[in-house]
Amino acid sequence: MCIVRGMTTEDIHAVALIEKECFGEPWSEAQLQESLGKDYARFLVAVDDGEVVGYVGAYILGEDVDITNVAVTSSSRGRGVAYSLMSSVMRVAREEGSTIVRLECRVSNTPARALYDKLGFESVGVRPRFYQDLEDAIMYEKHLQEV
């Protein structure tokens, strides 16, 4: 059973490994450290049997929340970890007075798109050639009163 808790500096190495496993353009440990130190950043990790198996990062900027990344190790996928992480970060954001969550997702990332649909996000547009490899991104929004 996974628990979701706030990310600490001790989690950065594990999160960087998850980044490398999951993304073609992973954040470095230095980038994670820098982001974690921002007063508007909220990073949560999912821990299973003492091991970090996923994380979510969000920037809470008043009423707006920007999800930076969501990632789960391949061995922990399909168990609701990403759903728990996203639900938890949205709960934190709502408690802090935010009303809308935004994120971008690769057009080709079918599992993530299914998760966002399940969570009630709406597709609100496309960012052409958004990623370094020029793949388009789908823009999603969710109003937090719906959580």
Select 2-146's CATH number: 3.30.56.10, 3.40.50.740, 3.40.630.30, 3.30.540.10.
3.40.630.30
Residue from 29, 104, 135, 141 carrying the catalytic annotation = 104
Q: What is the pLDDT of residues 123-144, one digit of tens each?
A: 999 999 888 888 999 999 999 9
Q: Both tokens of residue 93?
A: 């954001």
**pTM score:** 0.93
Q: How far apart are CA 22 and CA 72, in angstroms?
A: 8
Q: Both tokens of residue 114?
A: 């299914």
68, HSE (Cβ side, Cα atoms, 13 Å):
20
Task: For residue 55, indicate whether it is catalytic.
Answer: no
**Above 70 in pLDDT, residue 146?**
no
Spatial contact of 98 and 64, defined as CB atoms under 8 Å apart = yes
Task: For residue 104, indicate whether it is catalytic.
Answer: yes
Residue from 19, 55, 116, 140 carrying the catalytic annotation = 116
Q: How far apart are CA 63 and CA 143, in angstroms?
A: 10
